């Protein structure tokens, strides 16, 4: 289960599991946003490579228009995935507590 709320002026709050079954819905949500998009990951429990693909595609689209994707409150598990994939060198990532 994945839920996404917000965007526009404030952060997008994402919660649940961003896996292969939810990637299309997440991509559709993020495709509507422009500029500097902040993803609040405090309640994002799980991310698979399908989710990484969504984040990469979104970040590249935003970069092309002068924006970017930034992630906040990233848990330890997600930090490991970002580190192993090299995404910690691509995305602005703020660890969670």
Partner 1 sequence: MRESAAFPRRIDALSAIVAFTTAAFERLGAPPELRRDVDFVLEELFTNVVKYGRGTAPVAVDIAAIAGGVEVTLTEREAECFDVTRAPPVDTTLPAESRRPGGLGLHLIARLVDSLQYDYSPAERCSRITFRKTRTGLPPDEAAGHEGATC
Residues 53-92 that bind partner 1 (CB under 8 A): 53-54, 56-57, 59-60, 63, 77, 80-81, 84-86, 89-90
Tell me the two tokens of residue 59. 């970040």
Distances 63 to 26, 59, 66 between C-alpha atoms, Å? 18, 6, 5
Give min distance, CB of 80 to partner 1, in A: 8
Binding residues (CB under 8 A) for partner 1: these are: 17, 19-21, 45-46, 48-50, 52-54, 56-57, 59-60, 63, 77, 80-81, 84-86, 89-90
């Amino acid at each position: 289960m994945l839920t996404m709320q917000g965007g526009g002026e404030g952060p997008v709050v994402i919660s649940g599991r961003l896996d292969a079954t939810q990637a299309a819905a997440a991509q559709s949500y993020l495709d509507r946003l422009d500029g500097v998009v902040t993803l609040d990951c405090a309640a994002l429990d799980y991310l698979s490579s399908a989710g990484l693909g969504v984040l990469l595609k979104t970040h590249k689209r935003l970069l092309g228009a002068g924006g970017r994707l930034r992630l906040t409150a990233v848990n330890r598990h997600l930090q490991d995935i970002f580190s192993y994939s090299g995404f910690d060198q691509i995305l602005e990532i703020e660890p969670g507590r």
